[in-house]
Chains A and B, each alone.
Chain A
């Protein structure tokens, strides 16, 4: 098992905010919009440097999505920011008609996705957004795993023309990917090569998958770990290549089992190469209040859960 260490922990949203600060200088057409959550999205430095390129919409997310669509007509690259809950389900039709169907170059960049939003509870813990956005034609869906990857993704999507849904999170988590990484939309990252099982993970679950890989190594199981940061378009070739080798897969995501990364992987496998699959995901349930760590354990998203799923899926080979 390849060793991954970290010297600091940071929130992924800070990766977003710091990238926006850089984009403020490098991309004069980048504009930021926010629905009254500037502090949470970490974009205060962008606003300080470029007040004229920031649009405060107030608590009105539907209007924010429409304004973002309109801004693209004049050549702007708008980043529409809020919590993931309010930037997906609440405004699905606005994103669908005014942005995706209209082929507008809007970046829907949303924080506080998933259970790890923590204490605010289920009203704010969106666990269905990947499914919704995956189903939308013309939408790119990205869920980075740490500060560095979020920063790299935020910058990369500025140079991609088309609508993007970029979701990241609130909690402070280990920074284990390279600061100078090249982020390629739709390209999987091989975290660890192995032969016994494929673990496909996205977002905060990538670190859990690495911890699981270390535990599995102690048990004599050689896990291949793949990070899928781009849920759509999915790197089907990387997944198929790995599963053809290992003959089984565990998918890991901070999202409902219905419609997320696991289903995206299953869709590829059922049409190309049948193999047993286990899901690490929330099972048809809303979240609740608690600390991020407590919630990850209670809802079965921890490294220990991944280890158990690996043992089960190997037994099904």
Chain B
């Protein structure tokens, strides 16, 4: 897929995100917008996923993901992004995005398998757990002789959870080299900048010391750079080490007034703000 096509998808996904959050007056637009480029690139370019269509013309989702690359969202609060990408990729209809966070919806505030939404393989939201789950899925692939890879996205604030470092220690020790972890390195969390709240200090040095192969994607909101970085990460798989991408992003990327601070981590736009945001995001695939 051409970069331009991926950019168009990302623009529509960003529209979906702000409209979903506006529609239920809650949710987390900041991180969702910031990670839009990488999750679009994963689902529409990088990952090999099963495209077989089933009921209603949607992708026939298989929980076991045999012979597929798998993606886990550990920072589950960026659920609007995940749901939009899954819908636009063909797992379910885009019109369902309008039910986000509403009663009886499959699109819960944080992702879950519990409501049977295709594309979700584990619940997330309580932070720090996704890397461990991704390691388990990667180990199962090795046991099954399945040569596909496992991707997991975490937040940088999430690195403050102790379980992350249990998992960080495990993966190199057990040579889980079919695993690519991505940290949304935006430097922001709910209470302020990560440097103020609880500094991560030198994340790259930390992960290197733990035994990971660490690369940067310096422009995490530049689709060309993201695609190139993901390709590089894939080339590093299968070499005895897990791969870590420090994805330098901007929280709120794509909507100027949401960028550059933690203030839009978990706040919904009002009607005027929604209009201002949408004016910056071309409608490329049709709004839901």
Contacts and interface: CB of A to CB of B under 8 A. Distances in A.
B126 interface: yes
B64 A74 contact: yes
B162 A97 contact: no
Interface residues of B, number: 39
B129 interface: yes
Contact of B143 (A31, A68, A93): A31
Interface in A98-147: 98, 101-104
Contacts of A78: 136
B112 to A, nearest CB: 6
A97 B124 contact: yes
Interface stretch (A56-64, A162-170, A251-259): A56-64
A9 to B, nearest CB: 37
A102 B163 contact: no
A73 B135 contact: no
A98 B122 contact: yes
Interface in B102-157: 112-114, 121-126, 128-141, 143-144, 146
B163 A62 contact: yes
Given A58-B169, A98-B129, A74 B144 contact: yes
Contact of A75 (B123, B144, B170): B144
Nearest to B124: A97
B112 A73 contact: no
B133 A66 contact: yes
Interface residues of A, number: 32
* A62, A65, A76, A93: residue with the most chain B Cβ atoms closer than 10 Å: A62
Nearest to A137: B114
Contacts of B135: 63, 66-67, 70
A63 B130 CA distance: 10
Contacts of B281: none
Contact of B112 (A62, A63, A64, A102): A102
B174 interface: yes
Looking at A53, A57, A65, which has the most chain B CB atoms within 10 Å of its CB?
A57
Given A74-B137, A93-B126, A97-B129, A66 B167 contact: yes
A243 to B, nearest CB: 35
Nearest to A66: B132
A97 B132 contact: no
Given A62-B132, A101-B123, A70 B138 contact: yes
B76 to A, nearest CB: 9
B108 to A, nearest CB: 10
Contacts of B240: none
B70 A73 contact: yes
A70 B140 contact: yes
A55 interface: yes
Contacts of A62: 128-129, 132, 162-163, 166
Interface string B64-77: 11100010000000
* Majority secondary structure, A binding face: helix
Nearest to B133: A70
Given A93-B126, A98-B129, A103-B113, A69 B136 contact: yes
A231 to B, nearest CB: 23
Interface in A244-286: none
Contacts of B170: 57-58, 60, 63, 67
Contact of B166 (A60, A96, A101, A103): A60
Given A62-B163, A66-B136, A94-B163, A102 B63 contact: no
Contacts of A37: none
Contacts of B132: 62-67, 69-70, 94, 98
A224 to B, nearest CB: 40
A65 B166 CA distance: 11
A8 interface: no
Interface in A176-223: none
Nearest to B134: A70
B163 A71 contact: no
Nearest to A94: B129
A52 interface: yes
B64 A75 contact: yes
B49 to A, nearest CB: 14
Nearest to B168: A63
Given A60-B169, A73-B65, A67 B133 contact: yes
A73 B122 contact: yes
A102 to B, nearest CB: 5
Contacts of A72: 136, 140
Interface in A1-60: 31, 52-53, 55, 57-58, 60
Contacts of B133: 66-67, 69-70, 73, 98
A74 B148 CA distance: 12
Interface of B: 63-66, 70, 112-114, 121-126, 128-141, 143-144, 146, 162-163, 166-167, 169-170, 173-174
Interface of A: 31, 52-53, 55, 57-58, 60, 62-76, 78, 93-94, 96-98, 101-104
Given A60-B169, A67-B132, A101-B123, 15 more contacts: A52-B143, A57-B170, A58-B170, A60-B166, A63-B167, A66-B133, A67-B135, A67-B136, A73-B63, A73-B140, A74-B140, A75-B144, A94-B132, A97-B125, A102-B112
12 contacts: A60-B170, A62-B162, A62-B166, A63-B166, A66-B135, A66-B136, A68-B136, A70-B133, A73-B140, A74-B141, A98-B122, A103-B113
